[in-house]
Structure 1
Amino acid sequence: MKKVTFCESVIDNSHKSCKDYKPRDKTSSKDNPTTDEQKDKKNHEWIQGYLRLAFGLSDPESLRVLDEVSVEGVARYIKDNKCKNIITMAGAGISTSAGVPDYRSQDGGLYDKEKEQHYTIDHFNDNPDIFYKWLKKLFPENLKPTLCHYFIRLLHEKGLLLRHYTQNIDALDQLAGLPREQLAEFYGSITTSYCMECNQVYSQDWLKEKILTGAEPECLEENCKGIVKPDILFHGEQFPPWLEELSSEDFCICDLLIILGASVKEQPFRNLSSKVWVNVPRLYINLEPPDPPSANMMMALMFGHTFDFDSEERYRDVFKQATCDDGCRQLADLIGWGEELDELFTQNGGCSDPKEIGDDISSQKQNGIKSSEESQEPQKKEEKRSKPKSSAKKTNSQTTTKTATRTKTITPSKKHSVKKPSE
């Protein structure tokens, strides 16, 4: 079998798509529940914690682990080595300064509610051109990761990143050097594509060349002219089941949650933000704050679907109103990592001068990935992905119930879905 190196993986025709690709467990610690009995106990303790707080049986001050409920307090919490299992949750806001359109925006959003009928798997099967016109926006010239992406990588290099949960499909986190096993991609990514007829797998560079030249991404295998589809989820497809298990195990040992450029009013992040323990600090960096709390504050607290940034009783939630680049720049400076972040960013060719981060975002270049030499033949892949040890809990994922439908010609043994991070 012909093998090629691809994204630090070797891949073949037995392609496992995003729904079968689960991250390796980094969390083999004594705090991580392994048996069903231990998991049930952890779940009960988690529920009790939120209920006690909701009914006024817990003093919020007694739950506080930050010396100050502010960005400065979060920075000291990290700097003083009081956390070791940081989870980052990222949305479209971390990639907009690189030139990637917000996938929920009305002018270019794949997951915009008003246009979702155009981006269902059935509509893709019938008319893939609409999707590929949108996808072309993900391939601006010289697309590069942002300062925020490199801040997340720095957390990894410091040994503090438990997992990076992302709604983005642009794969800029991988381009920034974040290992695949550290990623949980809810919607998959454009790093790989596959033929919906014969399952032949194609590289990102191959697809990029087709998209930018206006050529139809059609399978090149002999006697097959199937549609080539990026390994991502469309409207109407369910999130992979392994994400529920993974998030359950990750979030129960998380000791700092950082939310970056993401909406927390919709699934999957709405429930994820409440999966951490009731005393775990949550830093939210975004241009806009989340929606105000539910009118039924008790129910909101019980299920964790709210943040408290302003009340006198706030004890863990911190909101930084800024671009993700600016917020991460400030946090890195406060921790004492500013120079390291600049060096990491410039050495790897970030999307702008790090010293300019903080200027008006509209003045920044909207650059994006330099094309490498593209092969005219598809790059076959054989991913060395062993079964991951999970580290997760039930993520109340997407509200849609339709299963991930593929084309009729795909056999059950080669069913595709969102990749699990490998071991």
Structure 2
Amino acid sequence: VAGAGISTPSGIPDFRTPGTGLYANLEKYNIPYPEAIFNIDYFSNDPQPFFSLAKALYPGCHRPNYIHYFLRMLHHKGLLLRLYTQNIDGLEKLCGIPDEKLVEAHGSFATASCHLCYTPYPAEEVAIMNDNIPTCSFCAAAVKPDVVFFGEDLPQKYFLHTKDFPKADLLIVMGTSLKIEPFASLVNTVRSSVPRLLLNRHAVGPFEKVPLQRGDHMDLGDLAESVRRFAELLGWNGEIEELMRTQETSNVM
């Protein structure tokens, strides 16, 4: 289970870190409250703030980092049942995690559709990096990437969790504030005997309880450092670095 914190080493700001998070720097958009930028009713009235912010998140501007490749190594070792991510930046897919192992719970920029009549459009027609708001040729409403806004349904693939979480032997939670439902409650759906490991800057969700539930473990601090230490304990660091070199070289070519 992963959130925005796994992408901050790639240069993408998270949402809630005071001073540097995306929500802390929205004054210029003149919105009533930070989350409004991802509210479908607000978008319907004024799509411009979302399109301005989307430039900071748009795929192609950033590269996967060591954390993403650690997750890819879990798959390579046959240990990854599924990766549930809140991220819309596409970096999990870019580092080589296959579609069948990935649940982008909050959607992505890979596809687009009219927010009103749901007519699909090629993602390349939704030109995030220029200042034009794409409009639907059928109803003239704004076309947006298929990123899940507050007030919209989660993708059907999200509901794989009803089968996945009861099967898990270990749940790793990383880089998330566990603030957004229903995603945040996923961590409570593994069997009570299953250990849960939080790799995060701060304790969040059920990990804030003192004492911790039996089987819960935390390593708090800089996430990239925590993941690298974890990989070194497993003896995977060299393999991950080699995977990064080969994958990034092939992506450039």
- The TM-score range, normalised by the shorter chain, is 0.7 to 0.9
Count of matched residue pairs: 243
Which of 78, 91, 95 is the aligned partner of 2:3? 91
Aligned-residue RMSD, C-alpha: 3.1
1:91-110 deviation digits (Å, cap 9, x = unpaired): 11001111212134575239
2:154 aligns with: 239
Q: Name the structure 2 match of 1:216.
A: 133
Gaps of 5+ in 2: 27-31
- Cα offset, 1:128, TM superposition: 1.1
Name the structure 1 match of 2:122: 202
The structure 2 residue matched to 1:120, chosen from 24, 30, 39, is 39
Bigger RCO (CA 8 Å, 6+ sep): 1
Encode CA deviations 1:261-306: one digit per residue, 9 max, x unaligned: 1123552344211211112111100111226xxxxxxxxxxxxx45
> Conserved in 2, the CA contact under 8 Å of 1:170 and 1:189?
yes
What is the deviation of 1:225?
Answer: 4.9
Shift of 1:338: 0.8
Moved over 6 A (4+): none
**2:50 equivalent to 1:151:** no
1:185 to partner: Cα distance: 1.9
Q: How does 1:21-420 map to 2 (within 5 A)?
A: 89-104=1-16, 107-109=21-23, 114-139=33-58, 142-196=61-115, 197=117, 199-203=119-123, 205-207=124-126, 210-219=127-136, 225-240=140-155, 243-244=158-159, 246-290=160-204, 305-306=206-207, 315-349=214-248
Structure 1 counterpart of 2:110, one-letter code: T
- Match for residue 29 of structure 2? none
Q: Structure 2: how far apart are the matches of 1:212 and 1:266?
A: 27
- Aligned residues of 2:207 and 2:216 also touching (Cα < 8 A): no
Q: Deviations over 1:138-166 (max 9, x none)?
A: 13874111211111111111111001111
Alignment-mate amino acid for residue 191 of structure 1: A
For residues 198 and 286 of structure 1, what CA distance do their matches in structure 2 show?
37
Give the deviation of 1:137 after TM superposition: 1.0
| Structure-2 separation of matches of 1:342 and 1:242 | 31
Shift, 1:332, TM fit: 1.1
**Contact conserved, 1:149 with 1:173, CA < 8 A, in 2?**
yes
Change beyond 3 A, Cα 1:224–1:267: closer
Report percent identity of matched pairs. Answer: 37
- What letter corresponds to residue 273 of structure 1 in structure 2? V
Q: 1:306 to 1:148 in 2, by over 3 A?
A: closer
Q: Distance in 2 between matches of 1:172 and 1:242?
A: 18
Higher fraction of helix: 2
Find the aligned partners of 2:139 and 2:182 in 1 and give their Cα distance. 36
* 1:133 Cα offset (Å): 0.5
1:123 and 1:266 mapped to 2: Cα distance? 18
For 1:348 and 1:285, the matched residues in 2 are separated by 25
AA at the equivalent of 1:251: F
Q: Distance in 1 between matches of 2:171 and 2:216?
A: 10
Q: 1:108 to 1:249 in 2, by over 3 A?
A: same
Gaps of 5+ in 1: 1-88, 292-304, 351-368, 373-423
Structure 1 residue identity aligned to 2:3 = G
d(CA) in 2 for partners of 1:200 and 1:252? 34
SS in 2 for 1:230: strand
For the 8 Å contact 1:259–1:283, the answer to whether it is kept is yes
Per the TM alignment, residue 169 of structure 1 is displaced from its structure 2 partner at its CA by: 1.1
What secondary structure, in the 3-state scheme, does the structure 2 residue paired with 1:345 have? helix
Distance 1:333 1:108 in 2: 32
Q: 1:160 to 1:215 in 2, by over 3 A?
A: same
The letter of the residue matching 1:101 is: P
Contact 1:308–1:317 (8 Å) recurs in 2: no
Change (3 A) 1:316 1:188: same
Q: Post-superposition shift, 1:198?
A: 7.1
Structure 1 residue matching 2:154: 3-state secondary structure: coil
How far apart are 1:330 and its partner, in Å?
A: 1.1
Mapped partners of 2:183, 2:173: distance in 1: 9
Q: Secondary structure at the match of 1:283?
A: strand
Q: C-alpha distance in 2, partners of 1:249/1:229? A: 31
CA distance in 1, matches of 2:52, 2:200: 28
Aligned-partner SS, 2:129:
helix
SS of 2:23 mapped into structure 1: coil
Q: Aligned partners of 2:37 and 2:157: how far apart in 1?
A: 27
